[in-house]
Structure 1
């Protein structure tokens, strides 16, 4: 059976070009289109159902772009979004970028070529302007990251406010040697958290310690390694705002190994209210991120847009909740 890849090879063009010919895309030269159609006719090639969807410009499929599925937050986010899409009659395809710009741009190309009806963007290495330029008015909704919302719809948590609240809680207990963990400080989300951390200090007339800002800390193992460097010889820190409950769990594991009592010697606050926060000893104080509500809202919104509802870009911000447990 002849496939689209065979047609591309025999025509001397890319698979994407063949897809554009099938979908009657305007950006294909008459000469190229004629060459591809001639090969298709010669080999009696019948486009499959996906190609028919290209022609109809509907795939009933939504792409989800994430940096790494191994990250506990993103695996949880994908779980809810995929379930909500399925309930609405849409399949999902998950693309991991691993923070690679070229991989990300390839997915945007697929969106432009109607392989997906819409794209849900959870994180990006590009600016908002670059994302808009690459997606060219196709349906894209961002969640998780705190983008301005000038070019596409945004659903996100108020990271700055809730991080300030958690930091203020620790400062109110007399804790001033405070650390802050991020997994990628270049992202808008992490920048918002850091801003909240700094503002909490400023409101109390304090300066944060720049030597206690830790980047690329995202896993249990990272938390253990960071904890060992802080706790092994002497206590260099009184409290830590961790980037996730998994990092917090690693810090607690390290504290136990180094005879550091939590929270008596060091208070720890996690993020995401993941179930792991309930199984450590002590249980982890954390921040609720409202993933279920955000997922439901953004999927309903994106389906409405696919069905032709027109409106300017919206930005919906959710209020986080600081959950005070035994680690702080």
Structure 2
């Protein structure tokens, strides 16, 4: 889509260019209804009405924005550090923008395009469910990095992406737990409205259970809390604590209705670990605990966290490589899918040989 001009706004509104100019400059000599119509069109089509913004377009803009959902996640912190170094090598500056978990990242990006001298955008983390029409208003190259895009959501010639196969890697973790003797496996997952990474990782969990002849139990699917930041330590802690409270009310002689708890991010898993410790639940003695991401802190919690390790450095470098290939006109849209690594640590254990010691192979303490 071409950059919108003042003439386009005038044509859309059925008025003259001078009328649009009066509306922009809050001139008193304009009908209030006409003025509102013009301002609505400016917002809808993301027209940049000020001269300074237009002048910036004529200059050699050398800035790239990184929009991050979940900036507190140390996984993203590692990626941002690598990206910033690579952007500096290109003699560009990096604009880092935190996007709140309830904000629309494309709306934030559209504002940044107006305000900053941007040549490209990296969307890092979060949900991504926007129309191609809305995305086309950005007018700058963009890459979706570590954002799960469902195969049928978008035309792959419309965007670029760098990710792991979230469904496949989630399947890998759950299959490992099943092969370790676990059948009742709880999951801390995304909200039901999630349309990207969270949905894909939940699909991997369900597929692994079904492929191993294990029914999916809705009571073991634990969604993140909608009023707490997504994929955060706090969210994992609160979800796990409520799960423990429900188990206690349920009685039936067991402290937990599962022998393994899998969280779709390491931050969620570490938050859950605190709730388990406060309840006196031994990890991995009573319940195995696993995460996803491979953040550095996972090696240092006690017990150290079993996880799917994403190749942070490779993904960050490839994100920058793809973006600058597009900026420099070397290539069109590209897609890279990396493999994760199952990293087994002390938070999980094989329970196949312990059935005779009080743990049922069907799950739970007996």
Range of TM-score over shorter length: 0.7 to 0.9
1:175 equivalenced with 2:188 (yes/no): no
Contact 1:62 1:119 (C-alpha < 8 Å) held by counterparts: yes
Question: How far apart are residue 323 of structure 1 and its match?
Answer: 0.3
Greater than 6 Å deviation, 4+ residue runs: 32-36
1:275 equivalenced with 2:296 (yes/no): yes
How many residues are treated as equivalent by the alignment? 294
- Quickly say closer, same or farther: Cα 1:59–1:327, change in 2 above 3 A: same
Contact 1:183 1:215 (C-alpha < 8 Å) held by counterparts: yes
Structure 2 distance, partners of 1:159, 1:125, is 14
Structure 2 distance, partners of 1:153, 1:74, is 19
Match of 2:284 among 250, 263, 271: 263
Q: What does residue range 18-37 of structure 1 map to in structure 2 within 5 Å? A: 27=8, 30-31=17-18
Match of 1:132 in 2: 135
Question: How far apart are residue 31 of structure 1 and its match?
Answer: 3.2
Question: How far apart are residue 80 of structure 1 and its match?
Answer: 2.5
Structure 1 distance, partners of 2:65, 2:19, is 29
Contact 1:248 1:269 (C-alpha < 8 Å) held by counterparts: yes
1:244 equivalenced with 2:281 (yes/no): no
1:306 equivalenced with 2:333 (yes/no): no
Alignment partner of 2:95: what SS? Answer: strand
Contact 2:99 2:108 (C-alpha < 8 Å) held by counterparts: no
Match of 1:194 in 2: 202
Match of 1:220 in 2: 233
Match of 2:165 among 158, 161, 165: 158
Alignment partner of 1:79: what SS? Answer: helix
TM-score normalised to structure 2 length: 0.71
Match of 2:243 in 1: 230
Deviates further, 147-156 or 200-209:
147-156
- Quickly say closer, same or farther: Cα 1:128–1:73, change in 2 above 3 A: farther
Question: How far apart are residue 139 of structure 1 and its match?
Answer: 0.7
Deviates further, 113-122 or 84-93:
113-122
Question: How far apart are residue 133 of structure 1 and its match?
Answer: 3.4
1:203 equivalenced with 2:211 (yes/no): yes
- Quickly say closer, same or farther: Cα 1:249–1:162, change in 2 above 3 A: same
- Quickly say closer, same or farther: Cα 1:309–1:35, change in 2 above 3 A: farther
Match of 1:321 in 2: 341
Question: How far apart are residue 132 of structure 1 and its match?
Answer: 3.0
Structure 2 distance, partners of 1:156, 1:303, is 17
Question: How far apart are residue 116 of structure 1 and its match?
Answer: 0.8
| Cα deviation digits, residues 187-245 of structure 1 (max 9, x gap) | 31111111111111111111221122122263223333333333453212211111222
- Quickly say closer, same or farther: Cα 1:282–1:124, change in 2 above 3 A: closer
- Quickly say closer, same or farther: Cα 1:304–1:114, change in 2 above 3 A: farther
Structure 2 distance, partners of 1:165, 1:102, is 31
Deviates further, 265-274 or 91-100:
91-100
Contact 1:108 1:135 (C-alpha < 8 Å) held by counterparts: yes
Match of 1:12 in 2: none
Structure 1 distance, partners of 2:81, 2:306, is 24
Contact 1:246 1:276 (C-alpha < 8 Å) held by counterparts: no
**Structure 1 residues without counterparts, runs of 5 or longer:** 1-19, 37-46
**Structure 2 residues without counterparts, runs of 5 or longer:** 11-16, 24-50, 226-230, 249-254, 349-366
TM-score normalised to structure 1 length: 0.78
